[in-house]
Amino acid sequence: MFSRLRPVFSALPWLVLAAMIGGCAEYGFKASVNPASEKILQKSIQKEFDLLVRDFDSLDGKGDMELCAPVRFAVTRFAVYQALEERKNAGMAQMTRFIMRARRALTSAQARFRFKTCVDSDGDGLTDLAEVRRHKTNPNSADTDSDGLPDGAEVRRHKTNPLLFDTDGDLLSDGEEVLYLKLSPKNPDSDRDGYSDGYEVTRGTNPRDHCSRPRRGPRFPGPWKKCRRSITGKKIRHRGVVGRIPGRVPLPLFNGGNSNGLLNT
């Protein structure tokens, strides 16, 4: 994904020393540093600053870190930009604080990304990073396609398309099939009687019972599941006939001219 940041920085001891010296000076203590040591300190601070800016630019260009840990990355960006603006006028101690604060925030953001503890802004069970990079869903909407199922449930549990309102094209939303009708959102004909689940719902027959089917209408190409009969000759039906969903507006048979393989008989 990206090159790992260095866990141990060669300039860190010098940064700590610069902070200690600068801190003493700020509180009125005289800290005598010979010109050679001061030059080494300034060179080390500049080296660490250049390394910080390079690491930040490489991560900022990809955008993955910002999607994973936006707050920590914002803190890092502020500290880096502040250091860029103030480096000409800031002393060694102040620059050291800028660099160490930015490095801590950057390391924390990197740890979240490495251990996959990224934010989930909409609470749908998918991280913002996974939604944007892998599934192309909206990280600020728990149900991108507005079918009644959260994006995370569609991807992980039901294996449906979180970008499609009706994955199997039977004129029933994925949420209606899973939550109300107990049908398969990936099979347009759950009982294999040749009639789509949506058509059976609008006709008042049971899409879970292959013996309960419309007398006529568009039908999928066969073979179809045959209706079994008991010893007395009666059809064996499933209990719980599914009728029209309360408050649901009946949908036309074909949506946008797409027949989904149905044949008129």
Q: Which two tokens stand for residue 31?
A: 């800290």
Q: What are phi and psi of 263, to 5 degrees?
A: -120, 140
What's the domain range around 246? 166-265
Distance of alpha carbon 182 from alpha carbon 168, whole angstroms: 14
In the predicted model, what is the mean pLDDT of the chain? 79
Give 56-65 pLDDT, tens digit per residue: 887 777 788 8
96 or 157: which leads in pLDDT: 157
Shared domain check, 253 and 173 = yes
pLDDT at 165: 97
Neighbouring CB atoms inside 10 A of 185's CB total 27
Residue 120 lies in a domain: no
Supply the angle between the helices 12-26 and 35-62 in degrees, to the nearest 10.
Answer: 120
Domain stops at, among 114, 149, 182: 114
Q: Tell me the CA distances in angstroms from 105 to 15, 67, 75, 261, one per residue in order.
A: 17, 15, 6, 55
Residue 149 lies in a domain: no
Calculated CA dihedral for residues 113, 115, 120, 125, nearest 10 degrees: 140
Residue 258 lies in a domain: yes
192: left (phi over 0), alpha (psi -120 to 50) or beta: left
pLDDT at 229: 62
Per the structure, the count of domains in the chain is 2
Supply the angle between the helices 92-114 and 70-86 in degrees, to the nearest 10.
Answer: 160
Contact in structure between 96 and 47 (CB atoms under 8 Å) = no
5 or 221: which leads in pLDDT: 221
Q: With bands split at pLDDT 50, 70 and 90, how would you rate the model's confidence at 236?
A: low
* Mean pLDDT (whole number) for 9-13: 50
* Mean pLDDT (whole number) for 181-186: 96
pLDDT at 2 over 70: no
Question: Amino acid identity, residue 24?
Answer: C
pLDDT cut 90: percent of the chain above it:
42
Residue 64 lies in a domain: yes
Question: Amino acid identity, residue 232?
Answer: T
Q: With bands split at pLDDT 50, 70 and 90, how would you rate the model's confidence at 91?
A: confident
pLDDT at 30: 45
Shared domain check, 103 and 27 = yes
Residue 29 lies in a domain: yes
Residue 119 lies in a domain: no
**Residue 201: is it exposed, middle or buried by C-beta count within 10 angstroms (0-12/13-18/19+)?**
buried
Shared domain check, 259 and 178 = yes
pLDDT at 37: 77
pLDDT at 59: 76
Domain stops at, among 114, 142, 177: 114
Q: What are phi and psi of 26, to 5 degrees?
A: -70, -30
Q: With bands split at pLDDT 50, 70 and 90, how would you rate the model's confidence at 96?
A: confident
Residue 7 lies in a domain: no
Residue 6 lies in a domain: no
Contact in structure between 123 and 142 (CB atoms under 8 Å) = yes
pLDDT at 241: 42
* Mean pLDDT (whole number) for 178-201: 96
Which alpha helices (DSSP H) does the chain contain, by range? Answer: 12-26, 35-62, 64-68, 70-86, 92-114, 128-130, 151-153, 174-175, 197-203
pTM, rounded to two decimals: 0.69
252 or 182: which leads in pLDDT: 182
pLDDT at 57: 83
| DSSP classification of residue 131 | I
Q: Tell me the CA distances in angstroms from 191 to 183, 198, 209, 220, 258, one per residue in order.
A: 9, 12, 6, 12, 22
Domain stops at, among 71, 86, 114: 114
Give 125-181 pLDDT, tens digit per residue: 999 999 999 999 999 999 999 999 999 999 999 999 999 999 999 999 999 999 999
pLDDT at 100 over 70: yes
